[in-house]
Structure 1
């Protein structure tokens, strides 16, 4: 069974060794290992993807052993396997202001086009609470009165609802590196409201308009610690406008039609296992 392990904690020597030695000793076949050492933050992070021999040892036992290592090494260690439970993948839909995208996701889940479960909706603003209530999805607010998120609370909510995939549905806050590393390995999907890599940043419609573009778009990609990196693209959709189209009309068309379409298809590709993230690159796994 494919299993992903992440370990994050204060930087020190010999942090990866006990994890690697333990899993290989049981008979795991390691497919991928990534390690990060950020001196400026004094933070160590590791992501390990492997084939775990469940006939030798269950994932529950693996998790218990790694919890012991985590306590000894002051590491937060997470063990995640898509196939550990016989259920649909559980999504956390994360929002700020706009409700078009969570509406599209929830409608597609309701209608069976997305084979997933909306486990929880999370917002740093309460603007989309009514969408959660409309679809009877638990809502959790993690922002203060200025919209600044409590990222510790964010992680606690993800754990509370046993989330498999985190969907940033125009969640207008940058996730801190630690959170990205804790849920690394293709578990965080972001919608960027512009075509990457040409138009990154927070105002891609405005930037493209200032370059007199007639084609605009959206990009859904896996999150890695580098912001809007280019090799993690799952899906891109574009639309063309006539010369002289006002910027407000461009944005309206992008937000109400193109962006929801882009993200829904990206999530479908992931939950249907057509794509995965290997070595920071999206690969096709469709047979």
Structure 2
């Protein structure tokens, strides 16, 4: 059984030791560990991916619940917010939170793919910093949570609280037009945040990739589905990419419309499916296949 432990809180000495010693004392093998110390803000963050041989998936519910309680107790002692999560926890279908802002096609595609069984998960909540897509959530009988301040700013503490309250496995950023701060990324690190970037990475990062590609006289445009890490659009976490070509002289408005309507939704749906079906995962900030490819 694989478990991802994340810890975040005020920095001081001796934070990692109680977590590591407890896990290894329980018989865990450490497959990955990363620690981050932000001196200017006195912030400590840690990711630890562990594996248990003696905790089979069939007993995952009891074992994971116990481990979560143990981590909570360590967190109370150290002042850290500690989470224990497992992609192998299959007592229920994975739970997705879909975050969006204005563009409807991409979040709609994810919700429809879940409804159609293309993505084997549930979506208990749609989260947004704007009210525009509340009717979309209602159409799919999904709760809508508004975390915006009225001017588009996002309450990230409310976002984190919502994910914890609804026991979300994966946060899907379906054209959510806010940058997640590093504190949110670390709390759900290890491949739990999936983003749709409306450009090809690493070539066209930023907020205007269609315009940037068009200004570079590109005739092929694309979208990138990738895992989120604290470094924005870093480019090494690609899950899926999808492209489309246009004729020379195609107006930028037509290019954007085609990308938003067709290319971006298909790119994100396939990327989310790959993660939910455990075809890939994030290991030391790089995407790794869980199984070796065997041609038919």
TM-score in terms of structure 1 length: 0.97
Task: Give the match for residue 6 of structure 1.
Answer: 6
Aligned positions of 1:1-287 closer than 5 A: 1-52=1-52, 53-54=54-55, 58-287=63-292
User: What is the rounded CA distance, in whole Å, between the counterparts of 1:174 and 1:10 in structure 2?
Assistant: 22
Secondary structure of residue in 2 paired with 1:102: helix
Is the 8 Å Cα contact of residues 273 and 286 (structure 1) preserved in structure 2? no
RMSD over equivalenced CA pairs, Å: 1.3
Q: Deviations over 1:132-157 (max 9, x none)?
A: 00000011000011010111111111
Secondary structure of residue in 1 paired with 2:175: coil
User: What is the rounded CA distance, in whole Å, between the counterparts of 1:286 and 1:266 in structure 2?
Assistant: 16
Runs of 4+ in structure 1 displaced over 3 angstroms? Answer: none
Is the 8 Å Cα contact of residues 98 and 127 (structure 1) preserved in structure 2? no
TM-score in terms of structure 2 length: 0.94
Secondary structure of residue in 1 paired with 2:236: helix
Is the 8 Å Cα contact of residues 120 and 138 (structure 1) preserved in structure 2? yes
Secondary structure of residue in 2 paired with 1:216: strand
Q: Deviations over 1:167-198 (max 9, x none)?
A: 00000000010100000000000000000001
Shift of 1:92: 0.2
Is the 8 Å Cα contact of residues 4 and 79 (structure 1) preserved in structure 2? yes
User: What is the rounded CA distance, in whole Å, between the counterparts of 2:64 and 2:275 in structure 1?
Assistant: 22
Secondary structure of residue in 2 paired with 1:282: strand
Unpaired runs of 5+ residues, structure 1, are none
User: What is the rounded CA distance, in whole Å, between the counterparts of 2:114 and 2:68 in structure 1?
Assistant: 31
Q: Deviations over 1:209-248 (max 9, x none)?
A: 1111111100010001100011100000011100000000
User: What is the rounded CA distance, in whole Å, between the counterparts of 1:128 and 1:61 in structure 2?
Assistant: 38
Q: Deviations over 1:111-136 (max 9, x none)?
A: 11111111210000011111100000
User: What is the rounded CA distance, in whole Å, between the counterparts of 2:41 and 2:140 in structure 1?
Assistant: 41
Shift of 1:61: 1.9
User: What is the rounded CA distance, in whole Å, between the counterparts of 2:63 and 2:200 in structure 1?
Assistant: 43
Q: Which moved more, 1:83-92 or 1:270-279?
A: 83-92
Shift of 1:59: 2.0
Is the 8 Å Cα contact of residues 199 and 208 (structure 1) preserved in structure 2? yes
Shift of 1:85: 4.4
Shift of 1:60: 1.9
